[in-house]
Amino acid sequence: MLDARPADAAPDGTPTTLLAVKAVPGARRDQIVGPLGDRLKVRVSAPPEGGKANKAICTLLARALDLKPARVAIHAGASSPEKTVRIEGLDPAEVRKRLAPPGA
């Protein structure tokens, strides 16, 4: 099961989730691979330079979760492949549901 846990609510009171992610920058294409242990494995084509991969990860997750990109940010691990992403507007159960593979 994905490590998606509640965090302090956003300033406007909306629920917030911290999601554990394993990032693979410099891939052929951007994609959510699926669970890797308790982390969500994501591949992005952006290089791990100047925050480009981190921005691509946030954009990819925002699209998959149907959120505005400003609602998704790197919370911890900005320079590491193992990151924690902060997602505003969804509780952990909804994050897991939206990221579940079809038919799961």
In this predicted model, what pLDDT tens digit does every residue of 6-61 receive, in sequence order?
998 877 888 999 999 999 999 999 999 999 999 999 999 999 999 999 999 999 99
**CB proximity list for 93: less than 8 A, separation 6 or greater:** none
CATH topology of domain 4-89: Conserved Hypothetical Protein Mth637; Chain: A; (3.30.1200)
**Closest residue by Cα to residue 24 from 40, 10, 6:** 40
Enumerate helices (H) and strands (E) in the chain, giving the number of each: 2, 6
Domain residue ranges in the chain: 4-89
